Chains A and B, each alone.
Chain A
Amino acid sequence: MTVVDADALDLFIELPDGPPSPPARDTSSTSAGSKVSSRRDPRAIGRALVLAAPAVLAVLAVWFLLYGLLLSGVEQHVMQSRLYDEFRLQLAAETAPLAEPVRAGSPVAMINAPSAGIYNLIVVEGTTSRLLLSGPGHLSDTPLPGQAGTSVILGRSVTFGAPFGRITQMNVGDVITMTTGEGVFRYRVEDVRRPRSPLPPSLDGGDSRLTLVTSASGGWRSGWAPSHTVFVDALLAGKAQPVPAGVLATVSPASLPMHNDPSGTVPLIFWLEGLVLVTFAASWAWVRWGRFETWIVGAPVFLAVLWGTSDALMRFLPNLL
């Protein structure tokens, strides 16, 4: 893990000096614009592409790693703090949702699981990849936590702060506390189910079970390249609330574990267009304004668009990643 990070950083530091500048110099030093160079020497363009394309790809890849493992965590942290404020207000005003239907993305519960390093995480409604960007999500066709039945919470294990990254380390008997509009519910972990684990015993009518779902893997993939889902079952200690209205919501396939959210296609197209625009604008400014000015103006804009693109791109990855 640390080794990988170091590699990524090394490359990141080294590359902007190296590859991007030489091709820029190479293609545009003699004359202004690519039209000139292409007219002048087609072979030079080919040579530049041989160098530039892998280099740009490498930079983007490094960015993506950086975004996925570090920056997305910041993003979720910001969204969490906003959700926390919203949920706190709802609890105070007693407007926190008690039953389906709940608007997708709105907060429904707060989860605390000290043994998994989870403190005051807000659970949102819905479990598509997009919704899970902002925190753990509640599977819509299961009862809310604290209500009778099995309530399922999905959370990411790698990206976006990895809220459920450590739930596999929980032990039987560990406490998970869920706070909803109906009160505070203490669950005790029954078991952690991995591949080939048996299904949990069926539930008695009035009992409530909480199942946390995330992804995990072993070996070299551990921690950053999950391969399967893991389940943490916890049983409510005490009396469950009745399910107020059993709306049988059929969830979309995108809400199921390890599924991606194809609804992000349109935003992604716009973000990519924006990226291309910014690139062209930067090239133009590089020539017309000068290197320094372009850096000052272009870098924040480019970064912002890149961030947005990455965010949209993440929806195409499994929702538990």
Chain B
Amino acid sequence: MKTTVPRRRIALARFGMALAALLVPALTVLPARAAAPSTPGCGAPPVTSTHGASFTVTETLCRTFFDKGVVDRRSFSVTVSDTTNLRNNQVISVSWSGAHPTGGIISAEQWAPAVDQEYPVVLMECRGIDSPDVPSAKRLTQETCWTATPGERIISSPSPYSMWSLDANNTADGICTQRYCNVPIPLPSNCDGEVAPGPNFWLPFDAADGTDYAVGSAGCDGAPPEMLTTGEDPTIIPSDTTYAETALNGTGSAKFTIMTSETNASLGCSQTVPCSLVIIPIEGINCNANPQVGYPSYECESLGTFPPGSLNTGSNPYPPALAVTGSYWWSGSNWDRRISIPLSFGTPANACANNTQAPLDFYGSEVMAEAAEQWDPAFCLNSKLFNVNVVQLPEPVAKSSLQQGFIEAAIQGEPPPVPVGQKSFFTTPTVQAPIAVSGFAIAYVIDNGNGAAYTQLRLDPRLLAKLMTESYPGTTSVQSNWQITGEPPGSGPNQCPANCNPAYAAMAHNPQSIFDDPEFLALNPGLRVPNGIQPGPAATLFSILSQSDVMWALTSYINADPEARAWLNGEPDPWGMVVNPAYKGIKLPVESWPLLDTTTNGPDYTESGNPFCVGALGNGKAKVPDRPLIDNPQENLAYVAYNMRYAIAVSLISCNNNPLTPEYTELGSETLGNRFLIGLVSLPDAEEFDLDTAALQTYASPERETDNGPQFAAGRTFVSPTVSSLRAAAPLMQPDSKVGSWVFPYTDFPGNAKAEGAYPGTMLFSADVPTKGLLEPDADDYGKYLSFAATTGQVQGFGVGQLPAGYVPIEGLSEEVDYTKVAAADVAAQNGQVPPLVPLAPPPTTTTTTVPSTTTTTVPSTTTTTTTTVPSTTTTTVPSTTTTTTTTVPSTTTTTVPSTTTTTTTTVPSTTTTTATTVPSTTTTTTTTVPSTTTTTTTTVPSTTTTTVAPTTTVPSTTTTTVAPTTTVAPTTTVVTTTTVAQQSTTTTTGAGSGHSGKGKNPPTGLPVAAVGTAPAGAGGLALPLALLVAVLGGVWSAVVVLRRRRART
């Protein structure tokens, strides 16, 4: 018997060991975990420095999963148009190829909701330079990147395994992967009810003044004032942060609005604070394994829920896949793909704001605003000169204010007409000195049916007339309004109630909008009109309310065209469209465009189902004529340009649906793919906002008249506004001595082949300044300004004192230049004279020789040009041997020369130190001030005498120094390199996922919600089996012992 016991013991021991052998592996099962393979060749250092205005850069994009390796690889290449001398609100073009096509496209790309597109290309402006070499205060990070709304930098994850915790690059980059990133706990009281539950990532914003804004959901924890927080509708105001779409072939382009500290002080980009354009092609998150189970998160590894190129219409059952939307632009994977391009900024338009001197005021044309922004700092930043302020005022108002003596100087685009019976519009002698050539443009935003923007728009004057004369009904309610108005009074189906006009009956066949007009389609054969276009805004030319010389020019152009004029007079076009009877026979040109259609017989605007507007505005109250609501002219051209930039349809054909205060409201931003807007803008605005501008008809062969077939467009010439077409147009300006200035011969256009290449929207802008009655020092200052404008101000460029894009230098127009120079002298002298437009006598040779030479030689840097000594009345004699470039005029003869040559002007726009007595040998000119362009043109007229006019009296020798337009801001040649953070996935194994019950787990990230297949039960989970084991073993042992003892006893 004794032998059996050990055997049982051995058996028991074996059983125990077997159990243990079973248990041990169960306790120590570790999930398989694989590191993502590091991928050579991906994510090459993308940052590039810039040395020029535009450049191209290429990088390789990869998306890597820890379990699948590289799942997507692309070669991304991007081109940027302008990077230097940028101004506030300037629009630059960015185009690229090789990006992942965008899916789930959302309307306009500048609006915050566009962040939810899949695979957008994110463009943003960030303060700092993207280089490890610069001090950290000047380094670019996500936190210095601007977003217009808090929603673009705050994200809460519905899943406990937030995207940022799964992002392989975040670990490598040191970006927070915790459950709560930058979230203050406890939350500030403002954030009650604002913070979504679950993991949260808050990306703070570091303002330029050093403030660190935590931002928080809806800005609850403090946001910069420029950021749109609660209460403001982010769909109304576009931001400069752009989520641009990429077409199916991988190419795309976007227009990006630059913001400087003028509009965004928190971002604070300026001449002294460098900023960068950051381009992030969203390629998707590089995913690590779910840290608890080691398996992939399919949310992270999603490749998108929308097919490329599809629109997000809200009908997709799945929301956009966050892993590939723009929401995670800051997360390591996307951030490491960024391309940072250093930007440099020009002198801001508010540079003169700090000058406390009483400014020299010009009032007038807003077309000159961009030029003034660059010209004025050349004066106000120079302590020896003066402060200049150009106040925008409708030109006709400015001209009449000047005439009445309220202001001292006006800037206009059209000489005022001379009243009957008078010699001049102005009662005091006033020069109208040409200072710039620019003009108007017909800007448009039109989407073609193939998804791209239409960029070939051609318009003839008749189409413009159709748009402006409210001859397209636009909406069906206007259509029925006209139909009822056109019925004979008291008869017809609708019994026209009031103000009936049978002439409206003829308009029943007018196309609803311009895109239904066969004439428009004949001129634009490449356009396939998309189906979703709103006809209302496409029925009008968005324009301005106020008086304007631009409107005068535009209507002059229309009026000069026989086709358009005939149509305005009531003759139908070849397709039968007629003019609105309210405009029939309208006398053109006009300074402000009247809205004449006042018919109110139709139902009120009901198309978008807005009962409140119908009830309150219609019943019992005076009815609002509904056709002008579509036009809704704006206050000034800049507003129109802004609306065109963001495709905002301002037609008042929507309703606020407020039952108490019903109001018609603007239609708002048109959706991408269905945009159709045409508006009147100034050329400089069009350039600044990078707008598409229409080619206008300059010539039509005579046989076009009645053709309404496909040959309609044949024999017509259209010209877009370009530098060359403006240059071609400028010489066409004809001097008109009656009005005292040059006028544009619009009648040249329709049939004159000579004018074929000239842009008909060209305008000559002049400064009107009296030559009598101004006091010192204003008179002198005005003279200097005019002289500057005629000479060194005419250098094209974006620097201080230069002429920006949208203007053409007048230097080629010698008559105009000369006139302005003479006028400048007259103004300075206040001699009551007005120079003739065309010199009566043959101009003195010196005038033609010396003047152009000085102006042309201004371009190279710091050249000393002609120096003429006029020793006539001086007492100090100059030893003639000393100065080399001095011509001494033999004094004493003072005879007045007929006409022109009474000029020895010294226009000193900037800082010329002229020595009173010429020192032997060297004329000292010390002009080293930076703000460029110091010019002193001394015209000596040999043979005739010089009446010393200039207030710089008795200057024996004036020296001329022209400092070239020094671009004060040297292109910041910062070579920036980033460390390559390739998409290597880091294995985030910190003991998590093991069989132990949570000791090795990271509480902040390890949340339970979706902890798939965690196996933390361990020993605890085996409590009951262990108890059973103990019970069985204990029981068996006890039984064995008892049995043994009983046996031993017996």
Contacts and interface: CB of A to CB of B under 8 A. Distances in A.
B586 interface: no
15 contacts: A8-B1028, A14-B1039, A54-B1038, A62-B1031, A141-B1007, A195-B1013, A199-B1012, A202-B159, A204-B319, A224-B1025, A227-B1015, A246-B194, A258-B1016, A318-B1020, A321-B1017
B1024 A158 contact: yes
B192 A259 contact: no
B392 to A, nearest CB: 44
A91 B240 CA distance: 51
Interface string A278-309: 00000000000000000000000000000000
A321 B1027 CA distance: 14
Contacts of B1006: 256
A239 interface: no
Given A55-B1037, A152-B1009, A196-B293, 8 more contacts: A7-B1032, A55-B1035, A69-B1024, A195-B1013, A198-B296, A211-B1009, A246-B192, A256-B1008
A317 B1023 contact: yes
Contacts of A196: 293, 295, 1012-1013
Interface string A215-245: 1010001001111110100000000000111
**Interface residues of B, dominant DSSP:** loop
A78 interface: no
Given A195-B293, A199-B298, A248-B183, A226 B1017 contact: yes
Given A11-B1035, A51-B1042, A260-B997, A203 B158 contact: yes
User: Residue among B180, B1001, B1027 with the most chain A CB within 10 A?
Assistant: B1027
B197 A22 contact: no
The 8 closest A-B pairs by CB, nearest first: A195-B1013, A58-B1034, A61-B1031, A19-B1038, A198-B298, A61-B1030, A258-B1016, A54-B1034
B197 A246 contact: yes
Interface of B: 26, 157-159, 161, 179-180, 183, 185, 187, 191-198, 200, 290, 293, 295-299, 318-319, 322, 997-998, 1001, 1003-1004, 1006-1018, 1020-1025, 1027-1035, 1037-1039, 1041-1042, 1045
A316 B998 contact: no
Nearest to A244: B193
Interface of A: 4, 7-8, 11, 14-15, 18-19, 22, 50-51, 54-62, 64-65, 68-69, 139, 141-143, 149-150, 152, 154, 158-159, 193-204, 209, 211, 213, 215, 217, 221, 224-229, 231, 243-248, 250, 252-253, 256-260, 316-318, 320-321
A200 B1042 CA distance: 58
Contacts, number: 240
Given A22-B1045, A61-B1031, A246 B196 contact: yes
A158 B297 CA distance: 29
Contact of A228 (B298, B1008, B1014): B1014
Contacts of B1010: 193, 199-200, 211, 231
B1016 A259 contact: yes
Nearest to B196: A246
A150 B1021 contact: no
B1024 A225 contact: yes
Nearest to A233: B1010
Contact of B1030 (A58, A224, A225): A58
A195 B294 CA distance: 10
Nearest to A64: B1027
B200 A248 contact: yes
B1012 A227 contact: no
B1021 A215 contact: yes
B1016 A318 contact: yes
Contacts of B1014: 228-229, 257-258
Contacts of B1042: 18-19, 22, 51
A317 B1018 CA distance: 10
B1030 A248 contact: no
A60 B1035 CA distance: 11
B24 to A, nearest CB: 14
A176 to B, nearest CB: 16
Contacts of A194: 1012-1013
A321 B26 CA distance: 17
A213 B1008 contact: yes
Contacts of A54: 1033-1034, 1037-1038
Nearest to B318: A201
B29 to A, nearest CB: 9
Contacts of B1015: 195, 227-228
Contact of A259 (B200, B997, B1031): B997
A149 B1034 CA distance: 51
A149 B198 contact: yes
Nearest to B31: A195
A231 B1012 contact: yes
A18 B1042 CA distance: 8
Contacts of B293: 195-196
User: Residue among B195, B1015, B1035 with the most chain A CB within 10 A?
Assistant: B1035
A250 B1028 CA distance: 38
B34 to A, nearest CB: 15
User: Residue among B322, B1018, B1042 with the most chain A CB within 10 A?
Assistant: B1042
B1025 A197 contact: no
A46 to B, nearest CB: 12
Nearest to B1021: A226
A229 B193 contact: no
A317 B1016 CA distance: 11
A11 B1020 CA distance: 24
A252 B196 CA distance: 19
